[in-house]
Amino acid sequence: MGNYSLWPLFLAFGINTPPVSVEAYGTTTCNITDQVSSPHRNDVAFPYSSIIHFKFPAQKEWEPFDLFWYDGGMKPARPDELDADKELPREGMMFVGDSGKILGSFHCGQPRIIPEKKMFEFLGTEEIPEDTTERTANIWLDSFLSGEQSPGSFLYAGPVTETILLAAVALQAGRKIEWDAENMKVTNIEDANKFLYREYRPGWEL
């Protein structure tokens, strides 16, 4: 789901590089022997829930920034700016800046400054406009007909895909990884580089 959720974020902010480091925390499984629990390393599937911390370098219009991914029911701490009678939604995005916080939906839609009074001050009214974002199934077909790149073009998809895959590498490594994107290499844990490639069976090589 990371590709779907982060894609509009990468487009809106012009993020065109993968992170420089990734640190991941995932739920673990346990074996019970004689009523004693012992951890069991899960190296075959993504964990039930995880928290991933990405550090990005400066972009064209942005200073270096941190991106946190929560899944499987994990959420960031409830922000103090959120009105007392409200909770963070089940899924969505939160942008934390020097001057405040903004909450948005899964696809960055319906952005709201919190607390609400700041939203009213920004708009100059207490009438918050409805989200008019339209999603269309014809966007890919429209790109064929117009000859223009679709928002989902493979030309743009590299950084977000590389970002999500590095989360899986960090989970497998069990430690923070430092990433050299130019050379496609984990620089601080040599053994983690084995997670970047696979050994194909004879006759199935690329």
- Indicate the DSSP class of residue 4: H
Strands (DSSP E) contained in the chain are 21-26, 29-33, 36-40, 50-56, 65-71, 93-97, 100-104, 112-114, 177-180, 185-186
pLDDT per residue, tens digit, the chain (206 aa), is: 677 788 888 888 889 999 999 999 998 878 888 889 888 777 777 888 999 999 999 998 889 999 999 999 999 999 999 888 888 988 899 999 988 999 988 877 788 899 888 988 888 887 766 765 555 557 778 888 888 877 777 777 889 999 999 999 999 999 999 999 999 999 999 999 999 988 888 988 87
Q: What are the distances in angstroms from CA 191 to CA 23, 40, 64, 139, 171?
A: 16, 20, 27, 42, 13
Cα angle 155, 7, 50; round to 5: 125
Domain boundaries along the sequence of the chain: 2-196
Cα angle 63, 70, 19; round to 5: 35
